[in-house]
A and B are shown apart, each in its own frame.
Chain A
């Protein structure tokens, strides 16, 4: 039964990737640009699901990690004119370093405190960027000199490739022995410890992977958009959207988080004619899905499939 589910998920993912790679044949540059942003967003959501769905920790500050990556890349490119590949490596390292600095003390706390610490971290980063405006561009944001590409299709394939690689990597981890230990740690840390697992070590490792991918995705995103600003990569509301996307898609599914992210971004874009109402409608739909389908879109689809 389990292998059937896994293969069903596997084939759905392959199918989705093939369709996604063919989309530039039909879609306009504008629609491709919407999807490009959505794919980066999907990586944010998948990284978050590794922490929440598997390690059982609610990270309220995914944008702390994303922002660290995005801003370190932007500063290195803008101030020191480092080439993009170096900036990306540095961004991933900074996010990883910041993530470890945050996670090691925070994961020792019990109950809801981990989540609260991550929430405060976002506010700290946001304030730091405003305070050191000379260096960071402050509230206005900062532009980067280099961009990944000026061609919409090329940008689209960069994002899609990154999404697919991240999805494969994260799914591989989630289905491995470490994924099993992480789930046990998330569900019942005492039981996991009693089986001989260092729960903190495994959770920190999950946080590191999440931080690395989030930081890298944040940096890729700004080299796609050509600018970094607090509103696009750090603001709390971005973090909330990531969380909604991951839950909407389906907890503990990794791929579901990406589906939720694409759904959320594309729906917001399509409802743009509604003006201010569009966020409201999308949020209402998200709320309804979360209340009615607690397993998310993908969780529901997989369960409906196995019940037949």
Chain B
């Protein structure tokens, strides 16, 4: 390990308009080493990977492979230099067989080689066998189960014979036995002397595999060490959970006999063969703030999209005694259930004001003016940025605009999906204040999905914990701090 690192990343930076995605990342990767890069959603870890691969152009910094700076080169040049990537979602060639898909990765970038030699075929077959696809080489990717598709992607990685391998969320969507098999395949890459960078949002999933772990947040490194050290690191715990949990003696303004506004019963959602939500039952009373907490991938976004009518489901969802089953997403939103999605979905090239006006297009003119005035009071920064294009705003401003735009529809129930995603602590504090103000001055009902428990708890009247598509706990925020505080991460 004392030898010179294969990959040296120094002061890597990337800006997207007003958003700073990566802000001075530096790390080394040695031959045969497996490094885990972790961080909550929106921390910039996927961007780091894309910058190394050349899929995105760095705004600054160097990426040296065996001493040669690759920063700014197109991806095919970087690939040829010896770096390869395994994306989380891939689109294989569906009309070709598995074998042909693997062969593709073995082809030279040449216009003159019309025919492939027998060695390509032999090589592809042996790689297929190595990843456990020997039985499926003549099948089409479309007929393969998910785990085998991932094996095929891994086969393509091996076929490139890379010095450095980048893997995005290696175990997403795999069962425990499949994870064990995959871990072995990945470890074999390291044993062959390749350097491996695993990117994941949780330490737990890659702890057993990674030699070292690097945690990042808001585009910057926050902790380095082995998996245990990083997991117990104070800063890491704070960015995942939002800091110390304080038991809150929240004065709930909602009485237990308030009528329920939203009622979800026995809801199940399937993505293909995978169960995304299982037997979800919950309710939200008029004027309440209900918080759904759970780590990334627990099913929060799926639950909200189901309520908003974007995902097919079984079970019943009732809003004010109306069954939402046969209502379109537009009808549900007009009925008063408005979602402010995790991805914000702003109209980037339109101005702040235009985004807001679009949100309020159904209101009569005087009501719209009143609502706008109220929102500018809530988020003064938006008033001063009215004519600026939405995509040039900073991350925090974009989130405020997304919430304000949702509020322009004057919703009875506002669904906020991870509003703190990728935001700095100062901004999260501002957001928290605005949310408190909103609840004080309007009769709004909130359904708040959060990974950041510290942000969610002070506002919540009740808390549900969602884990792997199931509700595993429910109760008041004070009880949550007592019972769930420790074992959550």
Contacts and interface: CB of A to CB of B under 8 A. Distances in A.
Interface of A: 1-2, 172-173, 176-178, 180-181, 183-184, 187-188, 190-191, 193-199, 201-202, 205, 252
Q: Which label, helix, strand, loop or mixed, suits the secondary structure of the B interface?
A: loop
Given A2-B97, A178-B113, A197-B76, 19 more contacts: A2-B96, A2-B138, A177-B113, A178-B111, A180-B96, A183-B93, A187-B91, A190-B55, A193-B54, A193-B74, A194-B53, A194-B76, A194-B79, A194-B84, A195-B104, A196-B76, A196-B109, A197-B107, A198-B109
B111 to A, nearest CB: 5
A201 B77 CA distance: 13
A199 B109 CA distance: 9
Contacts of B79: 193-196
A176 B114 contact: yes
Interface in B420-475: none
Given A195-B105, A195-B160, A201-B111, A180 B75 contact: no
Contacts of A183: 93, 95-96
B80 interface: yes
B175 interface: no
Centre residue among B80, B111, B114 by max chain A CB count within 10 A: B111
Nearest to A188: B91
Contacts of B115: 176-177
B318 to A, nearest CB: 38
Interface of B: 53-55, 74-76, 79-80, 84-85, 87, 90-91, 93, 95-97, 100, 103-105, 107, 109, 111, 113-116, 138, 156, 160
Contact of B76 (A173, A176, A193, A205): A193
A195 B79 CA distance: 6
B93 A205 contact: no
A7 B54 CA distance: 41
A38 to B, nearest CB: 28
A211 to B, nearest CB: 15
A285 to B, nearest CB: 27
Contacts of B90: 188, 191
Contacts of B96: 2, 180, 183
A193 B75 contact: yes
10 contacts: A177-B113, A178-B114, A180-B100, A183-B93, A183-B95, A184-B104, A187-B91, A191-B91, A195-B104, A195-B105
B105 to A, nearest CB: 5
A34 B84 CA distance: 53
A197 B109 contact: yes
B111 A180 contact: no
A205 B111 contact: yes
A201 B112 CA distance: 12
Given A193-B79, A196-B76, A187 B93 contact: yes
Contacts of A252: 95
A187 B103 CA distance: 16
Instruction: List the 8 closest pairs (A to B, CB-CB), nearest first.
Output: A196-B79, A193-B75, A176-B114, A188-B91, A193-B76, A196-B80, A198-B76, A197-B109
A177 B105 CA distance: 11
B74 to A, nearest CB: 7
Contact of B93 (A180, A190, A197): A180
Contact of A173 (B53, B91, B114): B114
B99 to A, nearest CB: 10
Contacts of A176: 114-115
B104 A180 contact: yes
A183 B103 CA distance: 13
Contacts of B114: 172-173, 176-178
Contacts of B97: 2
Nearest to B105: A195
A126 B111 CA distance: 33
B142 to A, nearest CB: 13
A196 B90 CA distance: 16
B85 A194 contact: yes
B46 to A, nearest CB: 13
A198 B111 CA distance: 10
A177 B107 CA distance: 7
A181 B76 CA distance: 13
Given A176-B115, A177-B115, A194 B55 contact: yes
Contacts of A193: 54-55, 74-76, 79
Nearest to B116: A177
Nearest to A190: B55
Centre residue among B76, B95, B113 by max chain A CB count within 10 A: B76
Nearest to B74: A193
Given A195-B160, A205-B111, A184 B93 contact: yes
A181 B90 CA distance: 16
Nearest to A187: B91
B91 A195 contact: no
B194 to A, nearest CB: 16
Contacts of B104: 180-181, 184, 195
Contacts of A199: 76
A184 B105 CA distance: 10
A181 B79 CA distance: 15
